[in-house]
Amino acid sequence: MPISSEQQAEIDALRANPQQTLRTVSAGMEAHLYHAYDVLDHGFIRVVDYMGDDAAICQAARVSYGKGTKSVQNDEGLIRYLMRHWHSTPFEMCEVKLHVKLPVFVARQWIRHRTANVNEYSARYSILDREFYIPDPSQLAAQSVINNQGRGAALTDAEAARVLDILKGDAARSYDHYEEMISDDGKQGLARELARMNLPANIYTQWYWKVDLHNLFHFLRLRADAHAQYEIRVYADAICKVVADWVPAAYAAFEDYRMGGATLSSTALDCVRRMLNGDIVTQESSGMSKGEWREFQAAIGKD
């Protein structure tokens, strides 16, 4: 199960003992504190702690930029200005700490975002649970023929069933051997730090992950994107829902300028100007490569 009985008892105890505070709080985020949201078959995310809100972003910006922000009449407008002009430090004034349970292969993608503080469950010290990510049949697909790091057509029902049998069987056997190696029942067991090497990448791990809002937005821009791998995208989608309640003005600007917007090169902008003037622009006359042209066409809705 995603949350263990011990973890749930700890969460219940914390929620039953609220603390009075003088610090700034976000009403939207307070509603998420200590709630675990299921992700995949055994995973979850939950907010452990946070700092700051939309007002903290504006407070920092007005200290930093002084008179340069006086023309902005409200916090939402200032936040949109900061997002639009790629300012970063005001968003770093907000931080969040998440407790995440996720498959190891997802964790190895996630950890590439090196701008957070991470403390992971130690398989040297503790014994990992017998919990493995087994995909839903709908998520089993063949290798893409156009994208070397993506999926193509869905597997047939028969092929999906064969793959699931392999995944379940291999996971069960590897964990059986893991337990056998660390057992000291009548013989000297292997050290946990060595026995773990035999476990598959779909076993679940857990960590605490603390990150500021600027770097969290970068993570979400990449991992909540439709092109991201499904197994990490569902975690990013769950985090997006939390962030939208925590800093609604900042998240709305992020959705508008980062998730829903597009960055155009000077060459692409020149093509747009030529098109507005009535010129017919082709890939050959655009000055762009075929890949750039495809992306440009998609950005302006011509794909």
Active site members:
223
Q: Which of 88, 115, 105 is nearest to 40 (CA)?
A: 105
Contact 213, 247 (CB under 8 A): yes
Neighbouring CB atoms inside 10 A of 178's CB total: 23
Beta-carbon-side half-sphere exposure of residue 242 (alpha carbons within 13 Å):
30
Residue 223 near residue 116, CB atoms below 8 Å: no
Distance of alpha carbon 160 from alpha carbon 154, whole angstroms: 9
> Dihedrals φ, ψ of 206, to 5°?
-140, 150
Specify the long-range contacts of residues 167-171, CB closer than 8 Å, at least 24 apart.
167/132, 167/134, 167/135, 167/202, 168/132, 168/134, 170/200, 171/132, 171/134, 171/200, 171/202, 171/203
Give the integer Cα–Cα distance in Å for 35 and 48: 9
